[in-house]
Chain A
């Protein structure tokens, strides 16, 4: 009996000892790390929210209501697991709130077939692979959450890749969140041709990720507005179609800047109701908006409307256009302001699809005097090969309020005001003006609404 007693004590003590030694290795800083505190910066004035934002809700049959969750994780720290912090399978709705998931061996959250996940006010960081990996899930709803420093990307969603899956649709809804400094892409969404994935991304900041801010592929519909995509190491937003099914983008009211690749790069894709509109796209190191690859055998897989954007100072070295189209598809370029880009303003195949744009100081010139003998050269540099200016185009200084401070609102005396072509859709009509350039001032990094209402511990 006494032997048994001794052995029992030892067997009990060993795990305790192991646990204590493991605790001693936990990074103190991360255990105490504040996640999201503070208030929104007031430094940049009340630009944000001056206009009514359209509430984009993709047509769906799944409510984004966390109240329906039947399994709830609240106020947990889940860390240093050999595998995922939380692994989810099946259609039981799960809510994860005010939690930290970090330093887990595979991912923070791994979700499989038909998973319903509501995630809010949480932090997912420093996990060895992705922050959130979802495969063939049904719903991923994220609010006020930080996802950062994960080894293989912030959020990775693969919709319906398994042909045996009964999942026909995946829905991703991310708002008021920050996805940053992940060692691959910020958000990566792939969808099989048999599966339709809708992605809603709003009021979020996606920055400093080692690949694209967000990349969508194949049968995916992205609605993104009021976001900041900045300083990602490839493109801010990328769309591609490896399997041949064209993704759809509605990308509006975003601030896309300082990305090391293109601001927006669409290898294949088309735009929906809103198009690529009302964005500020500036100081990206390759191109403002790029469509298609020059030598790609896959042509005519782009159908994009680029409307009312302000595209400034993109490019580095000897490359960089405001808008470049090598897709061979239809790229409508209208009502944009395109200025100070490194090589040229508009470089598109179908010049007749570009109209009512204001171009200025693109290419290696800075002054424009229409009576000067070099005016023609100046004009040619703006268009990169188009035989002449498009209908309604202006070539003159747009007169931004403070371009050196990245404030691209128009001064009152700017000729870009009311010089655009009216686009007769409810979205554009709500602004009540037809200025060239963005009709809306996108939020900056510290106005993206990720300051959560509560905090985790």
Chain B
């Protein structure tokens, strides 16, 4: 009995399964017939993609898809692309234009998922058709419209630049992208050379004071005068430079300087070394000279050049155009205040510049060779780090070391010679520069002596303001 029931159950199951097997094909046929036409159209599109050969068959597949689902923009897009690939540009343009019109004029299309991608593709494809037809004006318009709707479209960005260039409309379409690498205020010589045939002119004004005292040990003939003597010199310096690129690697420049020096000797009383002589009292003495300083001829040759990294050697030849005997008198005191060295001096050096992103580094190393009269030998190392803000505002911080050798300054009127010993000075110099208009630069800076000698000459704060213009 048990076995009989069990088999009956299985018979029922079997009958049920056979029934399902029988009706399944009918159901399949029914479902295929009633399938959404747009789903069937998508399948045809996939078939067309699989073909991908621009053949008539591919066109038939896309047309069939479009017939099944007229709102299927993808089918229209594919069809247009096939026409375009086959060189049937008129037909292609019609299809792309239809898509653009459909999407732009009908909320139904506009709100469908993926319609923006289709619109983007259609707009690009239409512009591409114009380009292929040689209608570059129309292509430019179409790419512009595409960028209005899709500003991040790389394809449109790429193509519009080409089309604009082909139409000769690109020059100066955007601000010039060449960025001036400015030289800092005091570490002045760049590792870059000027391009061939290009000029750079610059002008600077500097003002500083120097303090010092003449002590007995500085005098060759201490008996001839009444030491010690405090000094304070105020110096105004105007610099004007003109540089020119003879070749891309070789520049020449001329730098003229004009000085105004004011020497102030404080009121003092001298006790002569001879007890019988009366002591001498003098009021404050003011002496002033002005005139051309030495003129510098600069030769610079670029040794290494790699993008924004350059190394150059240079030589500054100082021509003694300044009056080394310039003097002035006050209250019977006459002092020689030289405006020049009186000799041809040579300053060989190295200049290095490198820029990385917004940072610019400049290094100048030089040694000035003199005869030790009026001006001593000098060894200078200057480093500067500048930061560029949008290539318009530059801030810089400079660190400069100077060693100045022994110098002898002869006071001809009083017939004695002051010998100053060698000194070392370390400067820190912050600066600010502005590009105001097409290479026209304004700058201000101050040079602060962080470590300076106790005796002898050393500058106090050096204030600088300048202007320069590059003619590219």
Q: Give A residues with C-beta under 8 Å from B.
A: 2-3, 6-7, 9-10, 13-14, 16-17, 20-21, 24, 27-30, 32-39, 41, 43, 123, 125, 146, 148, 178, 180-181, 258, 260, 283, 285, 313-318, 320, 340, 342-343, 347, 349-351, 361, 363-367, 376-377, 380-381, 384-388, 403-405, 445-446, 451
Contact of B21 among A20, A123, A446 (CB under 8 A): A20
**A33 and B50 form a contact (CB under 8 A):** yes
**B154 and A6 form a contact (CB under 8 A):** no
B85 within 8 A of A: yes
**A37 and B170 form a contact (CB under 8 A):** no
**A385 and B308 in contact (CB under 8 A), knowing A7-B10, A366-B166?**
yes
Contact with A along B158-183 (1 / 0, CB 8 A): 11011011111111111011100000
CA distance A315 to B20 in the complex (A): 62
Of chain B, the residue at the smallest CB distance from A326 is B307
7 residue pairs, one from A and one from B, having the closest CB atoms: A29-B43, A38-B55, A6-B10, A385-B307, A38-B53, A366-B165, A316-B157
**A17 and B21 form a contact (CB under 8 A):** yes
**A313 and B55 in contact (CB under 8 A), knowing A13-B14, A34-B47, A366-B171?**
no
CA distance A27 to B189 in the complex (A): 75
**A364 and B171 form a contact (CB under 8 A):** yes
Q: What chain A residues lie within 8 Å of B171 (beta carbons)?
A: 364-367
Q: What chain B residues lie within 8 Å of A384 (beta carbons)?
A: 307
**B46 and A33 form a contact (CB under 8 A):** yes
Q: What chain B residues lie within 8 Å of A7 (beta carbons)?
A: 10
**B47 and A29 form a contact (CB under 8 A):** yes
**A313 and B18 form a contact (CB under 8 A):** no
16 A-B pairs within 8 Å (CB atoms) are namely A9-B10, A41-B53, A41-B54, A43-B85, A178-B52, A258-B155, A313-B159, A317-B157, A320-B158, A340-B161, A340-B166, A349-B306, A351-B305, A361-B170, A388-B248, A405-B134
Which residues 27-59 of B have a CB within 8 angstroms of A? Answer: 28, 31-32, 43-44, 46-47, 49-55, 57-58
**B165 and A181 form a contact (CB under 8 A):** no
CA distance A387 to B249 in the complex (A): 7
Of chain A, the residue at the smallest CB distance from B159 is A283
CA distance A387 to B47 in the complex (A): 55
Shortest B298–chain A CB gap in Å is 18
**B169 and A24 form a contact (CB under 8 A):** no
Q: What chain B residues lie within 8 Å of A365 (beta carbons)?
A: 165, 170-171
**A17 and B306 form a contact (CB under 8 A):** no
**A387 and B305 form a contact (CB under 8 A):** yes
B17 within 8 A of A: yes
**A404 and B132 in contact (CB under 8 A), knowing A3-B3, A366-B164?**
yes
Q: What chain A residues lie within 8 Å of B54 (beta carbons)?
A: 38, 41, 43, 446
**A32 and B47 form a contact (CB under 8 A):** yes
**B47 and A10 form a contact (CB under 8 A):** no
Q: What chain A residues lie within 8 Å of B178 (beta carbons)?
A: 377, 380-381
Q: What chain A residues lie within 8 Å of B132 (beta carbons)?
A: 404-405
CA distance A426 to B248 in the complex (A): 37
Shortest B172–chain A CB gap in Å is 8
B136 within 8 A of A: yes
For the residues of B in contact with A, the DSSP-based class is: helix
B197 within 8 A of A: yes
Of chain A, the residue at the smallest CB distance from B175 is A364
**A351 and B47 in contact (CB under 8 A), knowing A24-B28, A404-B131, A405-B132?**
no
**A350 and B86 form a contact (CB under 8 A):** no
Of chain A, the residue at the smallest CB distance from B162 is A313
Contact of A36 among B28, B46, B49, B53 (CB under 8 A): B53
Shortest A49–chain B CB gap in Å is 18
**A125 and B50 in contact (CB under 8 A), knowing A13-B14, A313-B158, A365-B171?**
yes
Shortest B355–chain A CB gap in Å is 10
Q: What chain B residues lie within 8 Å of A445 (beta carbons)?
A: 85
Of chain A, the residue at the smallest CB distance from B24 is A20
Contact of A10 among B13, B28, B176 (CB under 8 A): B13
Q: What chain A residues lie within 8 Å of B168 (beta carbons)?
A: 366-367
Of chain A, the residue at the smallest CB distance from B9 is A6
Contact of A37 among B46, B51, B169, B193 (CB under 8 A): B51
CA distance A364 to B24 in the complex (A): 68
**B158 and A41 form a contact (CB under 8 A):** no
Q: What chain A residues lie within 8 Å of B167 (beta carbons)?
A: 366
CA distance A405 to B196 in the complex (A): 38
**A283 and B158 in contact (CB under 8 A), knowing A37-B55, A39-B55?**
yes
Of chain A, the residue at the smallest CB distance from B197 is A376
Contact of B10 among A3, A146, A316, A342 (CB under 8 A): A3
**A9 and B14 form a contact (CB under 8 A):** yes
Q: Other than the known A41-B85, A364-B170, what 7 A-B pairs have Cβ atoms closer than 8 Å?
A: A24-B24, A28-B32, A29-B46, A39-B53, A285-B154, A313-B158, A366-B165
Most buried by B among A7, A41, A363, A366: A366
